[in-house]
Amino acid sequence: MPNTPVQTARTMDLVIGLKELEQVLSTTPENLKRTWLKRHQQYGMPRKHPAGWFWPRKSIDVWLTSQAYVSADPGNDNDGEIPVTVHETRVAEQRAALHTLLGVSK
């Protein structure tokens, strides 16, 4: 029984092929074929389907979005010293300039 366009569209919603994945990762198909297992072992990339060069789309989406994770620097709230950020510095400068302009004393 031949594949109908509806079946093919549903299948493509479930999997991501080699061509599409190589565009997303900005690599070549040859490089992706050669390094997919290393990417799986080192970076947690989902495994490809054993029947061909395609991957589960949802797993790839989750993996790609998890790569954008930015870790927060843990701070010690007990030391009493709050590190000054650029934003806090700018706010303090603007507050001081406004107080000077309005003649407000501390």
Q: 9 lies in which domain range?
A: 5-66
76: in domain: no
23: in domain: yes
Residue with more model confidence, 11 or 71? 11
- Tell me the CATH number at 44: 1.10.1660
50: in domain: yes
Amino acid at 25: L
60: in domain: yes
Residue with more model confidence, 76 or 94? 94
Express each pLDDT in 17-68 by its tens digit: 999 999 988 999 999 999 999 999 998 899 999 999 999 999 998 888 887 6
SS3 label, residue 38: helix
Number of domains in the chain: 1
61: in domain: yes
SS3 label, residue 55: strand
CA distance 49 to 87: 48
Top mean-pLDDT range of 28-32, 64-68, 69-73, 101-105: 28-32
83: in domain: no
Percent of the chain topping pLDDT 70: 73
What is each CA distance from 37 to 1, 31, 81, in whole angstroms? 34, 11, 46
- The pLDDT assigned to 33 comes to 94
